[in-house]
Chains A and B, each alone.
Chain A
Amino acid sequence: MGLVQFREDDDVLTFLKAEGINPNLLSRELLEAHVRRLRAERRMRELAEVKADLGDVVALVREVREEER
């Protein structure tokens, strides 16, 4: 059932082909892990476009976290 679901995602098949991997030989667990990575790489590209200037992120998070202290 899982493999049918993955076949609908062209990126997954492209990735597996480039890696020389036959999706039929992979466990569902490994395929899901590949999908997580592919989806995350796509998200990271979009997040990179934000180009926020958050200053010192550690100080910023500390500020948020300590407000509740």
Chain B
Amino acid sequence: MARSGCVIDASALVLAVQREERDARAALARKLLPRLLEAHGLTAPALLAWELGQIVHRKRPTEWRDRAHRSRTLQLLLEDIELAPPDAAMLERTGHIAEAHDLSFHDAAYLELAAGAEDRFLLTEDERLLSAGRALLGPERTFDLGRLDAKIP
């Protein structure tokens, strides 16, 4: 089955729980994510779940009422996002990208997934990943929330 068109990383997705007083991009994320799900679908390497879990349960747990609230949030964030499990070929390509572009294996996993089909594009707020995406995928397939807002209806 063909995977969804928008590869989203944790820096863009976790903004959905951020308070707007702290970061104006929070409202933008909450506006765009439903539209992306409708128009393109969202996908990510399976490691997205671990990255978000580390943030919610370990890095900033006191921002939630209790553990059940943290678990609920994680579930809401990941619902309807197609998580791509690793396989041997994907890991080999990811390793190549990581070494060739001097990236962490995590960063490279997002790029590997986005590079897997020509109609797939990357959404991230991380400048390092944006820069690597522009180099590997091209600027027309690499977006942050602000730039994407002008592109989708």
Contact = CB atoms under 8 A, between A and B. Distances in A.
The size class of the interface chain A forms with chain B is 20 to 34
Interface in A34-58: 34, 36-41, 43-44, 46-48, 50-55, 57-58
Nearest to B39: A33
The secondary structure that dominates the A interface is: helix
Interface residues of B, number: 42
Nearest to A51: B19
Interface in B104-147: 104-107, 125-128
A41 to B, nearest CB: 5
22 contacts: A36-B37, A36-B41, A39-B80, A40-B38, A43-B79, A44-B16, A44-B31, A44-B33, A47-B76, A48-B17, A50-B17, A53-B18, A54-B14, A54-B63, A55-B22, A57-B15, A57-B18, A60-B14, A61-B9, A61-B126, A62-B126, A63-B59
Interface of A: 33-34, 36-41, 43-44, 46-48, 50-55, 57-58, 60-66, 68-69
Interface of B: 9-11, 14-19, 22-23, 26, 30-31, 33-35, 37-39, 41, 51, 54-55, 59-60, 63-64, 69, 73, 76-77, 79-80, 104-107, 125-128
